[in-house]
Amino acid sequence: MTATFAAVFIALYVGHTVGDHWVQTHHQACTKGGPGWAGRLACGRHVATLTLTKTALLVLVVLVLGLEVGLTGLVLGLGVDAISHYWADRRSTLARLATACRKADYYVLGTPDHPKHPVTATGAPAVHVGTGAFHLDQSWHMLWLLVAALLIAAV
């Protein structure tokens, strides 16, 4: 079971990074946190393609390594992961959690909303990738990948 858990986690992790950064469309990334049905549908489409990416890599790893995983564990694990991903990627939910956990200042780190946001030599906001919101988002997803891998390996 330990080797199965490790292999499943690695497959889910790689599937997550590919699905979250390569497969996700620009429209999904820009719209998924927005209000109303447009945001909900964009987030749903992102989670669907992300879950398909994870599933494809997981099936490959299971077949190549000859791992024994049950259908119930797969459905539970991928389902919990998909739900938690959708929840966080609606953005306002994760922002509220960050505020409740006293991480609101970190959540806006690296954005113009932060009082000490990075600036260029001319004082304009500096463009960069590393924001607190991104790090909190990704660590949330890693937590649920762990839960999903445990469910898939153990159920």
Residue 57 has what pLDDT?
98
Whether the pLDDT of residue 125 is over 80: the answer is no
Which of the residue ranges 16-30, 112-126, 136-150 would you say has the lowest mean pLDDT? 112-126
Number of domains into which the chain is organized: 1
- Which pair of tokens denotes residue 11? 């497959």
- Band (pLDDT 50/70/90 cuts) for residue 4 is very high
Mean pLDDT of 93-102: 96
Half-sphere exposure of 91 (CA within 13 A, CB side): 17
Nearest to 23 by CA among 65, 4, 51: 51
- Band (pLDDT 50/70/90 cuts) for residue 115 is low
Residue 12 has what pLDDT?
98
Letter string b/e over residues 115-135, b meaning 16 or more CB atoms within 10 A of that residue's CB = eeeeeeeeeeeeeeeebbbee
In tens, the pLDDT along 39-79 reads: 999 999 999 999 999 999 999 999 999 999 999 999 999 99
Whether the pLDDT of residue 106 is over 90: the answer is no
How far apart are the C-alpha atoms of 81 and 118, rounded to whole Å? 33
Query: Phi and psi dihedrals of 47, rounded to 5?
Result: -65, -35
Identify the DSSP state of 125. B
Q: What is the mean pLDDT of the chain?
A: 93
- Which pair of tokens denotes residue 97? 């959690």
As a residue count, the chain comes to: 155
- Which pair of tokens denotes residue 4? 């199965």
Whether the pLDDT of residue 14 is over 70: the answer is yes
How far apart are the C-alpha atoms of 155 and 146, rounded to whole Å? 14
Query: What is the domain range of residue 107?
Result: 2-154
Mean pLDDT of 13-34: 97
Whether the pLDDT of residue 32 is over 70: the answer is yes
Residue 129 has what pLDDT?
64
